[in-house]
Amino acid sequence: MSDLKARFEEAVANSKQLSERPDNATLLKIYSLYKQATDGDNGEPKPGFTDIVARAKWDAWKKLAGTSSDDAMQQYIDLVTQLRQA
């Protein structure tokens, strides 16, 4: 396993143990970076406008199109590290 992948998995575990819940914008960023890192570009069908939460998640992930898996992992690690230090 690569060092980046190991640090990413550690950050995923750490994200579940944050001392306080991040705001919704930060949660969307965490979600979208995780999806981009693990699944790549968003190829899912766009949720209907009545499902506000699913639509927000879909939009956040879609904005990361073209970001490499490695870049998304590093951004995820950096964000979780920053949240843990706050």
Q: What is the pLDDT along the chain (86 residues), one digit of tens a residue?
A: 689 999 999 999 999 999 999 999 999 999 999 999 999 999 999 999 999 999 999 999 999 999 999 999 999 999 999 999 98
Q: Which two tokens stand for residue 36?
A: 């981009």
| Cα atoms in the Cβ-side hemisphere of radius 13 Å centred on 13 | 6
CB atoms within 10 A of CB 11: 23
Spatial separation of the C-alpha atoms in residues 24 and 28, rounded to whole Å = 6
Among the CATH numbers 3.40.50.720, 1.10.3720.10, 3.90.226.10, 1.20.80.10, which is that of 3-85?
Answer: 1.20.80.10
Whole-model pTM: value is 0.94
Q: What is the C-alpha to C-alpha distance for residues 75 and 45, in angstroms, rounded to an integer?
A: 25
Q: Which residue do the tokens 């949240």 mark?
A: 83
